[in-house]
Each structure stands twice: as structure tokens, then as C-alpha cells.
Amino acid sequence: MKFVISHLSKHFEKKEVLRDIDFAFEDGKIYGLLGRNGAGKTTLFNCINGDLKSDGGTFSLEENGQLRPMKSDDIGYVLSTPTVPEFLTGREFLKFFIDINRERIPQTAEPDAYFDYVSIAPDDRDKLLKDYSHGMKNKMQMIVNIISEPNLLLLDEPLTSLDVVVAEEMKALLRTQKQGKIVILSTHILDLALDLCDEIVLLNHGILEPVDKSNLDSQGFREKIIEALREEDHG
């Protein structure tokens, strides 16, 4: 399975953020989308998810050699700032999500099984989501994507503001979720991309460029990537 972007473009007034992008992502891998803050990573994700209308281009899923248009059910999106219904408890939220998706996703477990999977303590499961930490809200976003099993999972800077323990838990969780899925994780942190991701893709001057991870072992190549990101920041 592949996620295929063809001739994607997006501009805001006179600023061209995405420039005629052509790229294909394969399943079974975590892709690190690397770029400076403001490079257009969130814009790219919002165009893919349909939250933002692109100026041109298409998104397709290739299955068994056949292309078809992407559907909303194909896509899961974990936002950098978690969005959850804070007036519900964690358990109420999961029960509600499972109930409204039961016809589409009939094979679901009990809420406690999912809480166990993402290491949310029993004492926290019946607390209001407004009292959850940032990391716990991020885990709740991950749970609903585990339940819905999208073909494409977009993760927008998901680990940036987490403490060390929660970040390591989230990394371990993401590694278990890549099989049979296409996972794209945006970050501006090179070392995180190298640690977690199977492939690195650089968003530079509105274009997606693959990066050979083996080259990043050399200091000279690292400096080349960092310099490209600096140019993007000042461009």
C-alpha cells in the first residue's frame, strides 16, 4: 500500500508554501517529516486531512497496484495540541467513540484494554479529560486512532512538549502501530527523527525531499541538512 501525493500546491497570498509536490509513502514505515517551524508541515497535514483546501493536486491510496482517491476514514490525525471533549471522563469519551463507530469498526475491546495499552493508570480513567495532562490527552488521541485503524496516520509534532517518560512510551507505542499503516510524523528535531523514524523526508522551500539516513551519520551531511533548514527559515 502507498499514499501518493500528486502535484500538490498551496499558497497564502503571495507566499507559496507547498510547490507542486509529488511524493509516495509506503506502508510499514514511520516517516519523519523534518522542517523548521513555519516550513509548512502543518499546512501539508491540513491539506491531506481536508481541513485546508489546497490550490491544486490530489491524494490517492495505491492498493494492489490500483489507485483510488483518499477517503476521510483512511486518515487519522494526532494534533500537536490535543483536542478532546474536556467535559467527559476518559472512560466516557472512549465508550462514546466506540459506540458511534461500532458499525464501521465492529472489532473493539473494552475501554480498560485500551487504557492498559497506552499506560493510563486506573485512577485516571474516570477523571474528566480537562484534568488530564498534555501527555495523557495525547495518549487519548492515540487510542481513538488505534481503535479506528486508519491507513494513514498523521502525527503533528506529537512528542515535542511531553516529559521524557511519556515521550518514550509514545515512541514505543508508535513502533507497534506502523505495521500495515503509513505513519508520517512531523518534527523540527533531527535527533528525534533519526531515533524513531524509518525514513526521513525534508520539507524545504515547499518541496518534499527524501534523505538517506545512512548519510546522516556523517557530520558534514548533518550540517548540510541543518543549513538547508536555516535557509528555509530565512527564505
Q: Which CATH superfamily is domain 2-10+32-207+223-234 in?
A: P-loop containing nucleotide triphosphate hydrolases (3.40.50.300)
What's the pLDDT band for 138 if we cut at 50, 70, 90? confident
Q: How many residues does the chain have?
A: 235
* Dihedral sign computed on CA atoms, order 5, 197, 29, 134: negative
C-alpha radius of gyration, the chain, whole number: 18
Higher pLDDT: 142 or 126? It is 126
Which neighbouring-strand residues pair with 3?
25, 61
The confidence score (pLDDT) of residue 218 equals 63
Look at 19-33, 65-79, 152-166 and tell me which has the smallest mean pLDDT.
Answer: 152-166
Ramachandran sector of residue 112 (left: φ over 0; alpha: ψ -120 to 50; beta: rest): alpha
The confidence score (pLDDT) of residue 235 equals 42
| Rounded Cα–Cα distance for residues 151 and 147 (Å) | 12
Which neighbouring-strand residues pair with 210?
201
| Rounded Cα–Cα distance for residues 190 and 215 (Å) | 13
Higher pLDDT: 175 or 161? It is 175
Higher pLDDT: 146 or 4? It is 4
pLDDT digits (tens, 9 = 90+) for 51-81: 999 999 999 999 988 999 999 889 999 887 8
Q: Give Dmax (Cα) for the chain.
A: 53
Averaged pLDDT for residues 192-219:
82
**Do the Cβ atoms of 171 and 195 come closer than 8 Å?**
yes
What is the amino acid identity at position 51?
Answer: D
* Dihedral sign computed on CA atoms, order 214, 218, 220, 225: positive
The C-alpha cell that represents 135 in the structure block: 501527555
The confidence score (pLDDT) of residue 215 equals 66
Whole-structure pTM value: 0.86
Asked whether residue 141 carries a pLDDT value surpassing 70, the answer given is yes
| Rounded Cα–Cα distance for residues 104 and 90 (Å) | 22
| Rounded Cα–Cα distance for residues 15 and 21 (Å) | 16
C-alpha triplet 106, 112, 115: angle, nearest 5°: 100
What's the pLDDT band for 230 if we cut at 50, 70, 90? low
Pairing of strands 152-156, 182-187: parallel
| Rounded Cα–Cα distance for residues 226 and 40 (Å) | 17
What's the pLDDT band for 234 if we cut at 50, 70, 90? very low
The confidence score (pLDDT) of residue 221 equals 63
Averaged pLDDT for residues 172-195:
87
